[in-house]
Amino acid sequence: MGFNMGFEFSKKSIDKIKETLLKYPEKEASLLPVLHIAQDEFLYISQDVINLVALTLDIHPSRVKEVATFYTMYNKKPVGKYHIQLCRNISCSLRGSSNIKEQLEKILNIKAGETTSDGKFTLSTVECLGACGTAPVMQINDKYYENLTTDSLKTILDSLS
């Protein structure tokens, strides 16, 4: 199977996985949370991560892969230290998210879908983030940034080191 044997979860992740397993009567049900834990540690779901998760939960790697590729939040390729996800859906678009996108592309000097050459920022557009009342909205890693204006973007990006 080409397993990379040196590839393991940290002690912190293993503790989190043990806690997660207690929540479900079936081991397989931990797959989504364990993939989140894996992504937190390894930043994206590579084939090595898929194999590791499969070993951990005692399921076939193809089961892990079908789930990892079904859900959009699991990164299938490396992303920057800060993953900017800008909502492009209706309420944000009515409130000018396309201007926000252009401004972000200008500041970062990349197009949506790309990563800056220093690996710091990845810019993606995503579907509805469920915060339509404070549109336009973007999510950077775990945090939401709401009521965006083209003027506020530089301050937000500068605050991230």
Partner 1 sequence: MKTEKILTKYTHIKDYRNIETYLKYDGYKSIQKAIELGQKGVIDTLTASQLRGRGGAGFSTGMKWSFIINKPFPRYLAINADEGEPGTFKDRFIMRNSPHLLIEGIIVACLTLEIETAYIYIRGEFIEEANILEKAIEEAKSKGFVGKNIAKTGKNINIWVHRGAGAYVCGEETALINSIEGKKGQPRLKPPFPAEVGVFGKPTIVNNVETIANVPYIILNGADKFLEIGVPKNGGTRLIGISGHVNQPGIYELPMGFSFKEAIYSVAGGVLNNRKLKAVIPGGSSTPVLLPEEIENLTLDFDSIQSAGSMMGSGGVIVIAEDTCMVKTLLTLEEFYAHESCGQCTPCREGVPWIRDIIARIESGHGKERDIDKILSICDNMMGNTICALADAAAMPAKSFIQKFRNEFEDHIKMKKCPFNAKN
**Residues in region 125-144 near partner 1 by CB under 8 A:** 126-135, 139, 142-144
Instruction: In angstroms, give the least distance from the CB of 155 to partner 1.
Output: 20
Stretch that binds partner 1, among 7-15, 94-102, 113-121, 148-156 (CB under 8 A): 94-102
Say whether residue 7 binds partner 1 (CB under 8 A).
no
156 vs 148: CA distance, rounded Å: 10
Alpha helices (H) in 109-145, listed in sequence order:
none
Cβ neighbours of residue 110 under 8 Å, at least 6 residues apart?
116, 121, 123
Among 7, 8, 60, 71, binds partner 1 (CB under 8 A): 71
The number of CA neighbours under 13 Å toward the Cβ of 97 is: 26
**Residues in region 24-63 near partner 1 by CB under 8 A:** 24-26, 28-33, 35-36
Say whether residue 109 binds partner 1 (CB under 8 A).
no
Take residue 18 and report the two structure tokens written for it. 């043990």
Dihedrals φ, ψ of 100, to 5°? Answer: -65, -40
Give 8 or 66: the residue with its C-beta nearer to partner 1: 66
* Residues 60-91: b if buried by 16+ CB within 10 A, e if exposed: ebeebbebbeeeeebbeeebbebbbbbbbbeb
Give 4 or 28: the residue with its C-beta nearer to partner 1: 28
Say whether residue 77 binds partner 1 (CB under 8 A).
no
Give 26 or 118: the residue with its C-beta nearer to partner 1: 26
